[in-house]
Amino acid sequence: MKLGSLYNSTASGHRDVFEDVHVVKDYADASYLMKPEESILKLFSDEWKSFRMLDIGVGGGRTVSSFAPLVREYHGVDFSESMIVACRDKFETSFSNASFNVCDARQMSIYPAKHFDFIMFSFNGIDTMTFADRSAVFNEVVRVSKPGCRFFFSTHNIHTVPCMFNIRMSWVIRMHLSKIREVLLLRRMNPAWRSFVSASYAHILDGAHDFRVSVCYVRPDEQLKELERHGFSDITIYSLVTGNMISISQAAGSCDPWLYYLCSIQK
């Protein structure tokens, strides 16, 4: 069952939210890495210097100072002009190999075919789109990939839904009250949570950006099939919580709110 149609994000992909001055500031203030990103840094430690890298949905540049110094060329793109202005202000003079451009991931015609060695779309930027738009992004990633290019992205995990929608006891009373409030809001804003559990994917109002953004949650086995349909191979999954590679059955049993996928394109 596909619930995507119930809560499909708008055709704009919530661009207005990512132009919001407060949202831009929050993203621009961040510079930490998530554990799977640290794992990837180590995994390709011998190769970075030869990579032409594309960072899609670069936001306020959280990942820039970790990746740009390592690679041959670093290209950050985002469909939010305000995010790109923030990145240019912060980084363009510090990294001579870096450029930042306004560009929609669904149509990246500013880049030629077979151009990049490593492409990243981190922190679930792909989840604010409709399922059809995700497909457009995968097609564009394939187009701009050199043979052997790696693609690394994250997407929400539908198996985490029961953990989100149910109240677990907390001994800290204040935390317990705020969790109850959060769960009640989630239940009020969405269809019955049990219907999500058997869905291949669903758009959920999960509280992100004060419930202004519907977020795509995907079954990991469905995500694998979708990547294979687009021509990706060598697909591996990384746990957000541990940063370690996990199997598909571990992903199905995990309460990781989102998972990272690493795959390659051989054409």
Ligand X SMILES: C[S@@+](CC[C@H](N)C(=O)[O-])C[C@H]1O[C@@H](n2cnc3c(N)ncnc32)[C@H](O)[C@@H]1O
Site residues for ligand X per CB under 6 A: 13, 18, 27, 30, 56-59, 62-63, 78-80, 83, 104-106, 122-125, 128
Nearer Cβ to ligand X (116/123): 123
Output the smallest distance, CB 139 to ligand X, in A: 13
- Residue 131 is given by DSSP the state H
Nearer Cβ to ligand X (4/59): 59
3-state secondary structure of 233: strand
Nearer Cβ to ligand X (125/257): 125
Output the smallest distance, CB 108 to ligand X, in A: 8
Output the smallest distance, CB 176 to ligand X, in A: 28
In whole angstroms, what is the distance from residue 4 CA to residue 219 CA?
12
Nearer Cβ to ligand X (111/193): 111
CA 20 to chain centre: 19
Output the smallest distance, CB 69 to ligand X, in A: 17
Residue 175 region by backbone torsions, left for phi larger than 0, else alpha for psi between -120 and 50, else beta: alpha
Q: How far is CA 160 from CA 115, 193, 231, 253, in A?
A: 36, 11, 27, 9
In whole angstroms, what is the distance from residue 7 CA to residue 182 CA?
19
Q: Rounded to a whole number, what is the distance in angstroms from the first to the last CA of the chain? A: 33
Output the smallest distance, CB 231 to ligand X, in A: 20
Query: E strand or H helix at 73, and its extent?
Result: strand 73-78
**Which residue of this chain has its Cβ atom nearest to ligand X in the complex?**
59
3-state secondary structure of 183: helix
Nearer Cβ to ligand X (27/165): 27
- Contact between 77 and 105 under an 8 Å Cβ cutoff? The reply is yes
Output the smallest distance, CB 71 to ligand X, in A: 16
Nearer Cβ to ligand X (63/223): 63
